[in-house]
Structures are given as structure tokens and as C-alpha cells.
Amino acid sequence: MAKEFSYYAALSPQGEPFTKTFKGFNDKEGLEFVLRKLKKVENAFYSKPAIVLESTGHYSQRIVHFFCNRGFKVFLVNPLISHSIKSSLIRKVKTDKVDAEELARLYFIKTLKEVQLNNDYFLNLKVLSRTAVLLAEQRVNMINQFTAAVEQVMPTYPKIFSNIASETSLAILAKYSSPYSLKQAPKQEIIDIICSNSRRGLK
């Protein structure tokens, strides 16, 4: 499974290749094409096929979601497990098509855990929470880098504001980027900038 497409191999209940390995794109049209292929497998064996996928982070998550919502049993395989099994097999050719077939065979030779989807709201909240944590960490790193850069030019400036990245501080630095320009600035100009950007009272 890749970002744009995936390779699919369909095996019979005896573990033998049923169709040629085929490529399906991970967009709406591509997945509808895959569903039509799977319908042929279902009609041939009178049973809805199980889907075995190798976990590839967020790329695989939406594919898992797609098949689970359409009533398929989906099994997500840790890449460490599938790689260890594939590396133990002696073969001359290594291609995505061969890998897809060997991944499908894991269904017959290893006990796999079926994916149980959580509520959509929970899944969305999980993604948003991870993103919020990541953005918070990035913000802290940027403020630390920004503070270090300002200290190179104005060593005492960070002592003036409790938050050097506040709107008021940034407004002053945007207009007066050196100690000299800040020192030469009219006092009332500085007061006006602080009054128009600070949420605190005039006192």
C-alpha cells in the first residue's frame, strides 16, 4: 500500500491465486474498481472475502475505514511481522505484486486480529488531538528559537515582556527591529502601539 495506489491479490479458500494481482488507486474511482473485483471473488466462493492489509500509517487508515464500512472483515498486519515472514521465504523476485500475494497468505498461516472501528467522532477527535499536541510542540520550539534570535540583537528585551511572542511585543519588534531604533522612537509612538495591541488597561 502506497500513498496513491495499492496492489491487491485475491486467493481462493485453499490459498491459491484466484485472479492476477492488480493495481487499484486509493481514490473513489479506484476503490470502486477494487470493490467490483472483490464482488467477483464473493460470487465465485459464495463468501465475502477477508481483507488483509499491511499497516502504513495514515495511508492505510482510510482504506481500512472504507472496507470496514462496507461490511468486510479487515485484518491490519504490523509491517515487522509481514517483513519477517517475507524475508524468510527464498525467492528470486521481489515486487509489490509478489508481496501482495504473500501478505494475503498470512490469513491462512497466522492468527490475525480483526480491526474493530471506533465511532467516527472518536476517530476524528483522535486525529485532531494528535494534531493539536503537534502544533503546541511546534509553537514552543518556534518561540524558543525566536527568543534566542531576539536575545542576539537585544539581550535585555525578553525581560520586558512576560511573553515575548505576544501581539504587543511582536508589534513593537515589527516596527523597531534594533536597540537603536527602539531607543530613538518617540515615547508616544511606543505607548500607542502598546495601547492598541495590549489587552491590559492603560495603567
Q: What is the pTM of this model?
A: 0.56
Q: How far is it, in rounded angstroms, from Cα 6 to Cα 31? A: 10
Q: What is the pLDDT of residue 96?
A: 65
Q: How far is it, in rounded angstroms, from Cα 31 to Cα 42? A: 16
Residue whose grid cell is 528470486: 92
Of all helices (H) and strands (E), which one includes residue 76?
strand 74-77
Q: How far is it, in rounded angstroms, from Cα 47 to Cα 50? A: 9
Helices (H), 154-178: 167-175
**Nearest to 4, CA basis, from 54, 64, 59, 61:** 59
Q: What is the pLDDT of residue 17?
A: 86
Helices (H), 26-119: 28-45, 58-68, 79-88, 96-109
Per-residue pLDDT of the chain (203 residues; tens, 9 = 90+): 778 888 898 998 888 888 888 888 998 899 999 999 999 999 999 988 999 988 777 777 888 888 988 889 998 887 766 666 555 554 545 566 678 888 888 888 877 888 877 767 777 888 899 999 999 999 999 999 999 999 998 888 888 888 899 999 999 999 998 889 989 999 999 999 999 988 877 77
Q: What is the pLDDT of residue 1?
A: 77
Q: Phi first, then psi: what are they for 53, rounded to 5°?
A: -125, 145
User: What residue type is 12 in one-letter code?
Assistant: S
Q: Phi first, then psi: what are they for 73, rounded to 5°?
A: -80, 125
Q: What is the pLDDT of residue 79?
A: 73
Q: What is the pLDDT of residue 87?
A: 57
